[in-house]
Structure 1
Amino acid sequence: MQVWPVLNEAFMIASAVLIAIGWYMIRRGRKDIHRRLMLTGSAFATAFFISYVLRTLLIGDTTFAGPARYQTAYQVFLQTHATLATVAAVLGIITLRRAFLGRFDRHKKIAPWTATTWLIAAASGLVVFLLLYVIYQPGPTTNLFRAVTLGHGG
């Protein structure tokens, strides 16, 4: 199995676990632990994003090589995952900014939505990973430059 996709998935799952525990801690009034867990979870989410972008630019994207009859369902699922992850990232920036500025009344209003969106995005990302690398053999990986200039077949 390729190492980089496993590393990316580890970053994402670590982030989700830390954020889930951090959410639990704030519900128990443990503000200091909450803050540390959320910052660490955010750091892992950032590491995931940077690693994912670097892999996409340097190595490329791996295509789904499962049965053709699942291709459309996979693409819809993948786009839903990507949209959720993007929304979660934007919400995460807003949520962190509000916390850093001490606007906790506003932070508390958006934080549950942010955490929920990220947890769903992480879970759907795990499904994408399993479909691409575990359940089915990985398809071809196409470098972004080649994909843009020549298409996936180039």
Structure 2
Amino acid sequence: MQRLVERHVPAVTGVLTVVSLALVFAAALRVVPAGALPRAPDAVLSAIPHLNAVISVVAFGVVGASWRAIRRGNVERHRTGMLAGVVLFAAFLVMYLYRVALLGPTEFAGPAVVERFVYYPVLAIHILLAVVCIPLLYYVLLLGLTRPVSELSATNHPKVGRVAASLWMTSFALGVMVYLMLYLF
């Protein structure tokens, strides 16, 4: 299986991206009937946004530290950190999509002018970056997992990885801003 993925990283990236985005949009657009999912207690559903904010802050730090590790030549710390970042992102996404599939998106309760000129633009950029990151993350992850470390510098892994990490960190930061606007301000 690894050989197949190694030979077809762009194609596997495309398939994983399409499947992932289909699941994301199915949950976000509430295509999945809420009755088809087991319902967690209200306290758990209420805690998800707060837990996801913590996950986003931790993931931001982990990805930043992992980026710094590779710049210092610490490949193992970089690999471990980036894998942890992917796991954190997956946990965030599963919880977020579960909650949205059951309850729908959270309404902005602030003033309409803030909603229109601050909240929606920040939310739109956050969502756009998150969507753009999915194929980039799959691509660098698949390259990183299927190639020996000694060969990675000859692939697109470093170049695409820098772009992916920058966009990913920006998306996490904007996600925290969205959280703050929805739940604290």
- Name the % identity: 32
Letter of the aligned partner of 1:122 in structure 2? F
Question: Taking structure 1 as the reference length, what is the TM-score of the superposition?
Answer: 0.83
Give the number of equivalent residue pairs: 135
Question: Taking structure 2 as the reference length, what is the TM-score of the superposition?
Answer: 0.69
Answer yes or no: is 1:32 the counterpart of 2:32. Answer: no
- Choose the corresponding residue for 1:80, options 125, 128, 133: 125
- Who is 1:43 aligned against? 87
Mapped contact 2:126–2:175 kept (Cα < 8 A): yes
* Moved segments of 4+, more than 2 Å: none
SS of structure 1 residue aligned to 2:168: helix
Structure 2: 5+ residue stretches without partners = 1-42
Structure 1: 5+ residue stretches without partners = 136-154
Letter of the aligned partner of 1:114 in structure 2? A
- Choose the corresponding residue for 1:8, options 36, 52, 58: 52
CA offsets per residue over residues 110-139 of structure 1, 9 Å max, x none? 00000000110011111100000001xxxx
Task: Give distance in 2, aligned partners of 1:78 and 1:109.
Answer: 27
SS of structure 2 residue aligned to 1:64: coil
Mapped contact 2:66–2:82 kept (Cα < 8 A): yes
Answer yes or no: is 1:93 the counterpart of 2:138. Answer: yes
Answer yes or no: is 1:20 the counterpart of 2:20. Answer: no
Mapped contact 2:56–2:173 kept (Cα < 8 A): no
- How far has the Cα of 1:79 moved from its partner? 1.1
- How far has the Cα of 1:58 moved from its partner? 1.7
Quote the RMSD (CA, aligned, Å). 1.4
